[in-house]
């Protein structure tokens, strides 16, 4: 048992040492156990499942608007190995997402909220940023590491305190990992996607202030629905924090990216 535990720790340590990467634009350290090719394959599979379940919009004006903005932002992202697709889903849901590999889905509910192209570009830039920054692979890697850590802890306690203690540790580890690691990590990704999404939209020629008006609208919408989740338990930053961060970064992004795009 001790030998098996020692080898488990050695294997985990080796994985941690070789699984380092850097995020695009922000240069943040990332932990990656999943290859980009694996991510893209999973994204394609998930996209096919979404299209089987969801109804695509037949409103050609809406579809053309999403595809026009999406193609401009994808060009700014300069990721030609992604096979970019832009779909409008007919559903009264204020949501959008981008799967690994560049499969973007925008719901008609959020299109009704984004009355300007700058606001819709902020939505799509944010979602495209998630794919460009490989947040899906990063979250899968974090979950895999959390699972491995839980298994090693269970082995350690199982060897010294019996199976009952091992089960208790597994339950507590799951709670601790979710609140202490996985959720905050997701909030960091959301903030990063806000910043990089603004950069991508600005490079594509959309005014960065669209992100500010978007999140003010989202704040009002959430309050009207009574959706107030405590910040420490949310997978997203609080709207107040989000708006403050956007305000702080908006001027620099406008000067460095949007004005340069306007000059071209």
* pLDDT the model gives residue 166: 44
Banded model confidence at residue 117, pLDDT cuts 50, 70, 90: very high
**In-domain check, residue 198:** no
Active site residues: 127
Residue with the larger pLDDT of the pair 11 and 50:
50
Q: Does some domain include residue 247?
A: no
Out of 13-22, 203-212, 235-244, least confident range: 13-22
The percentage of the chain sitting over the pLDDT mark of 90, rounded to a whole number, equals 48
Instruction: Answer yes or no: is pLDDT of 16 > 80.
Output: no
Q: How many domains is the chain partitioned into structurally?
A: 1
Assess if residue 236 is contained within a domain: no
In a domain, 63, yes or no: yes
257 within some domain: no
pLDDT at 130 > cutoff 50: yes
Ranges assigned E (strand) in 67-196: 85-89, 96-99, 103-107
Dihedrals φ, ψ of 103, to 5°? -95, 110
- Residue 103 inside a domain? The answer is yes
> The dihedral of CA 222, 56, 114, 215: what is its sign?
positive
> How does residue 38 score in pLDDT terms, banded at 50, 70 and 90?
confident
Of 59-68, 123-132, 136-145, 176-185, which gets the smallest average pLDDT? 176-185
Q: Is residue 238 part of a domain?
A: no
Q: Is residue 260 part of a domain?
A: no
Determine which helix (DSSP H) or strand (DSSP E) holds 21, and give its type and residue range.
strand 20-22
What pLDDT score was predicted for residue 37? 86
The boundaries of the domain holding residue 90 are 2-186
Contacts of 127 (CB under 8 A, 6+ apart): 96, 97, 98, 104, 193, 197
Rg (CA), the chain: 21
């Amino acid at each position: 048992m001790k030998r098996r535990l020692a080898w488990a720790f050695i294997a985990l340590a080796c994985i941690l040492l070789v699984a380092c990467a850097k995020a695009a634009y922000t240069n943040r350290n990332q932990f990656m156990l999943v290859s980009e090719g694996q991510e893209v394959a999973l994204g394609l599979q998930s996209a096919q499942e979404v299209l089987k379940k969801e109804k695509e919009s037949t409103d050609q004006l809406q579809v053309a608007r999403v595809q026009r903005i999406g193609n401009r932002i994808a060009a700014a992202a300069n990721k030609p190995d992604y096979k970019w697709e832009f779909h409008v889903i007919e559903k009264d849901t204020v949501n959008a997402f981008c799967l690994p590999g560049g499969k973007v889905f925008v719901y008609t509910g959020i299109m009704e909220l984004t009355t300007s192209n700058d606001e819709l570009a902020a939505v799509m830039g944010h979602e495209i940023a998630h794919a460009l920054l490989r947040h899906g692979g990063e979250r899968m890697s974090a979950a895999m590491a959390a699972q491995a850590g839980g298994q090693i802890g269970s082995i350690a306690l199982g060897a010294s305190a019996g199976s009952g203690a091992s089960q208790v540790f597994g339950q507590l580890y799951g709670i601790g990992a979710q609140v202490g690691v996985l959720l905050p990590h997701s909030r960091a990704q959301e903030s990063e996607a806000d910043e990089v999404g603004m950069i991508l939209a600005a490079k594509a020629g959309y005014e960065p202030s669209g992100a500010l008006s978007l999140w003010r609208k989202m704040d009002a919408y959430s309050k009207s629905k009574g959706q107030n989740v405590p910040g420490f338990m949310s997978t997203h930053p609080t709207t107040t924090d989000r708006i403050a961060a956007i305000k702080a970064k908006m001027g620099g992004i406008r000067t460095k990216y949007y004005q340069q795009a306007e000059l071209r």
